[in-house]
Amino acid sequence: MSVSTRSAGVRRAVLIARLVGVCVYVGAFFLPACKEAVAPGGDTPTVLQGSRCAWITLVNTMNPEIWHSKYLLAILSGWINPLLLLYLVFLLFQKFLWPRRVVAGVIVAFIAGTWVFFDLAHLVPLIGHFLWIAGILLILAGEAVGGKKDGSVAG
């Protein structure tokens, strides 16, 4: 197999992974994303849909009190969605290779912050959250493959 054939196959696989990732990512917004952890015999836990979580975290960005509490991590998780959109725009232009990789790194860091927040706030992630993360990772997977200086996938 020639290098160019292998390179084309890798590019195709990355494209397919990103397209599947976008579909999974979008679908996750319509599923239950998290719920409150409740002690046995407690009230029925509140379950939040993915789109509701995204809305709450993004809207509360404007609340200065939130920035000085554990909810800062929730706010940062809300910025994953706009950053992912920026990442997708950066994919359209080869000259944005390094900014795109920086954005991808920030997204991964904010994902970790989301899990820390879940622990601090006693929230349980549900299927929507796991699919949201899976979709994001599929979209970002092309960065792990590496690339040449011009932004194309290495062969």
The whole model's pTM is what? Answer: 0.86
| pLDDT tens for the 155 residues of the chain, in order | 666 776 888 889 999 999 999 999 999 999 999 998 887 777 788 899 999 999 999 888 888 888 888 889 999 999 999 999 999 999 999 899 999 999 999 999 999 999 999 999 999 999 999 999 999 999 999 888 865 544 444 43
Q: What is the CATH number of domain 3-145?
A: 1.20.140
Which among 64, 86, 79 has a CA at the least distance from the CA of 111?
A: 79
Return the ∠ at Cα 50 (arms to 44 and 52), rounded to 5°.
Answer: 75
Strand 47-49 relative to strand 123-125, pairing: unpaired
Cβ contact 1:143 at 8 Å: no
Q: What is the C-alpha separation between 58 and 53, in angstroms, rounded?
A: 8
Let me know if 41 is exposed, middle or buried by CB neighbors in 10 A (0-12, 13-18, 19+).
exposed
